[in-house]
């Protein structure tokens, strides 16, 4: 099976706070409504509803899952719809008001039409939801179960998983075969990913999509750095990225530049605060871990692309040409895609399936490998950087307090961004040879995820979620 997942699928533009609990369920709701329309049954629907199972039922309230389902049923697309049409869509729903199913057909809807059933776990995946539609006589018109399998990807029960892509020029299943293919063809990991992408879409389309992903990431960082106030939810968590940004800018204006790594943390906090607020975010590879890669990429683009390898010590060189930065970011994204595909294919990128190691661990490894690549690392140094980053997240649990993607998630992204930079620097100081392969790290993550108690897989039933008093 080819592990490769396209860059446009791995980095999908959507909404916070969760790719698996918000974006995936929204896509499921939209797909369900689309199917009703395509089969000619939409106009006969008198009632529609949904049951949220397992992890979706357990933390769906804090993750805005029911809001997302309502928005999806109304035909809204997470990539393009205004975030305020999704936020609180279910929470503030006036019972009995008409919901425009598929954006067209009015159906009376009540909040109780969405049921939370955390104790029911379906065998297909811990994140499951069943959508149903009935006619005026109560007869069932449609009933579909969807699995939200991480990173905003969904799978409908009964549908075959998408076929692996034998049509791609480079077919690899693990890190070892990825490196072997690169050796054979004389390509970097980014170049191999590029060849695969160019077999899926024309070059101008690919470039436009890569740039759109990057622009959405940068817009998210900038909006997060500018925003102030408390985040939604009962924890009353205050945003911090803006205050840090103001302090760092003031110090720079006074010629007192601190360690540049402080910006790295501010960028990551900015993204994850935006995510927690339900704003526009790019999965990288998920929403909960969306801050790591943009922070590292922006840190490279702003400070490393135009300076020596250690900008804190070396004088800045003339600013790198914009085109060089753009090219570097594209390379970073493609390298991260080739690596992220391995985690998705051979372990998991879903916190509900593998704990936080699957989300933030994967994100950190993708960012570390991508950074090593743009800093001139060889393929083996890139693989080494990703392995170092992943290794030190193994066993990391998911225990969000109050089911909100805030604590520990926001800070965790800042710490992981810092780890990614450290991992890349360590790898670049070596020659690429190392004892633990990336494949061994990925397999360990898979096995650890299987052994991990359900309490630590996005259920809010263990760890910090039960040991921190909420008020």
- Interface residues with ligand SF4 (CB under 6 A) are 288-289, 351, 356, 359-360, 398, 400, 405, 408-409, 412, 458
Q: If you ran DSSP here, which 8-state letter would residue 230 be given?
A: B
Toward ligand SF4, which CB reaches closer, 144 or 391?
A: 391
Toward ligand SF4, which CB reaches closer, 78 or 355?
A: 355
Toward ligand SF4, which CB reaches closer, 210 or 405?
A: 405
Closest CA to 374 of 328, 407, 336, 434: 328
For the bound state, the minimum distance from the C-beta of residue 450 to ligand SF4, rounded and expressed in Å, comes to 16
How do beta strands 140-150 and 13-15 pair? unpaired
For the bound state, the minimum distance from the C-beta of residue 363 to ligand SF4, rounded and expressed in Å, comes to 9
For the bound state, the minimum distance from the C-beta of residue 466 to ligand SF4, rounded and expressed in Å, comes to 14
Residues 470 and 404: beta-carbon distance below 8 Å: no
Closest CA to 189 of 10, 425, 365, 372: 372
Toward ligand SF4, which CB reaches closer, 359 or 383?
A: 359
Closest CA to 47 of 101, 107, 7, 88: 107
For the bound state, the minimum distance from the C-beta of residue 212 to ligand SF4, rounded and expressed in Å, comes to 24
For the bound state, the minimum distance from the C-beta of residue 261 to ligand SF4, rounded and expressed in Å, comes to 21
Toward ligand SF4, which CB reaches closer, 331 or 393?
A: 393
Toward ligand SF4, which CB reaches closer, 140 or 470?
A: 470
Element (H, E) at 141: strand 140-150
CA 275 – CA 270 distance, rounded (Å): 9
The sign of the torsion formed by the CA atoms of 211, 215, 221, 222 equals positive
CA 464 – CA 456 distance, rounded (Å): 10
Closest CA to 284 of 272, 276, 273: 272
The span from the first CA to the last CA of the chain, in angstroms, equals: 49
Closest CA to 341 of 455, 173, 157: 173
Toward ligand SF4, which CB reaches closer, 128 or 428?
A: 128
For the bound state, the minimum distance from the C-beta of residue 14 to ligand SF4, rounded and expressed in Å, comes to 15
For the bound state, the minimum distance from the C-beta of residue 21 to ligand SF4, rounded and expressed in Å, comes to 8
């Amino acid at each position: 099976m080819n592990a490769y997942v396209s860059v446009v699928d791995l980095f999908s533009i959507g909404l916070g706070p969760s790719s698996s609990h918000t974006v995936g369920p929204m896509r499921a709701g939209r797909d369900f409504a689309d199917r009703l329309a395509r089969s000619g049954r939409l106009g006969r629907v008198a009632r529609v509803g949904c049951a949220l199972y397992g992890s979706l039922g357990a933390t769906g309230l804090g993750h805005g899952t029911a809001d997302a389902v309502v928005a999806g049923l109304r035909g809204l697309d997470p990539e393009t719809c205004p975030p305020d049409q999704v936020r609180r869509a279910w929470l503030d729903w006036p019972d009995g008001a008409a919901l425009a199913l598929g954006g067209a057909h009015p159906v009376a809807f009540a909040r109780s039409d969405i049921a939370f059933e955390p104790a029911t776990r379906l065998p297909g995946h811990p994140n499951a939801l069943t959508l149903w539609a009935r006619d005026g006589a109560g007869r069932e018109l449609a009933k579909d179960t969807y699995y939200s399998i991480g990173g905003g990807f969904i799978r409908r029960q009964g549908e075959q998983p998408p076929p692996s892509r034998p049509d791609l020029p480079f077919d690899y299943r693990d890190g070892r075969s990825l490196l072997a293919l690169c050796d054979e063809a004389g390509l970097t990991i980014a170049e191999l990913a590029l060849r695969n992408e160019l077999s899926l879409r024309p070059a101008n389309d690919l470039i436009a999509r890569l740039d759109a992903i990057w622009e959405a990431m940068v817009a998210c960082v900038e909006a997060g750095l500018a925003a102030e106030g408390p985040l939604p939810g009962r924890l009353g968590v205050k945003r911090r990225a803006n205050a840090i940004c103001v302090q760092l800018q003031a110090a720079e204006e006074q010629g007192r530049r601190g360690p540049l790594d402080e910006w790295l943390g501010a960028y990551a906090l900015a993204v994850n605060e935006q995510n927690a607020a339900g704003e526009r975010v790019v999965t990288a590879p998920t929403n909960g871990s969306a801050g790591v890669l943009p922070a590292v990429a922006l840190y490279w683009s702003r400070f490393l692309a135009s300076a020596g390898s250690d900008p804190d010590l070396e004088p800045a060189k003339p600013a790198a040409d914009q085109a060089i930065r753009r090219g570097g970011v594209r390379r970073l994204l493609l390298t991260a895609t080739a690596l992220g595909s391995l985690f998705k294919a051979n372990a998991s990128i879903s916190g509900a399936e593998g704990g936080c190691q699957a989300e933030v661990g994967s994100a950190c490894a993708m960012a570390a490998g991508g950074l090593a690549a743009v800093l001139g690392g060889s393929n083996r140094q890139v693989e080494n950087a990703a392995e170092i980053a992943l290794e030190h997240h193994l066993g990391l649990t998911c225990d969000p307090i109050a089911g909100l993607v805030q604590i520990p998630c926001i800070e965790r992204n800042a710490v992981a961004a810092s780890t990614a930079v450290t991992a890349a620097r360590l790898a670049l100081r070596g020659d690429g040879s190392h004892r633990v392969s990336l494949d061994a790290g990925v397999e360990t993550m898979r096995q650890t995820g299987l052994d991990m108690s359900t309490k630590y897989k996005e259920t809010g039933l263990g760890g910090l979620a039960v040991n921190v008093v909420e008020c």
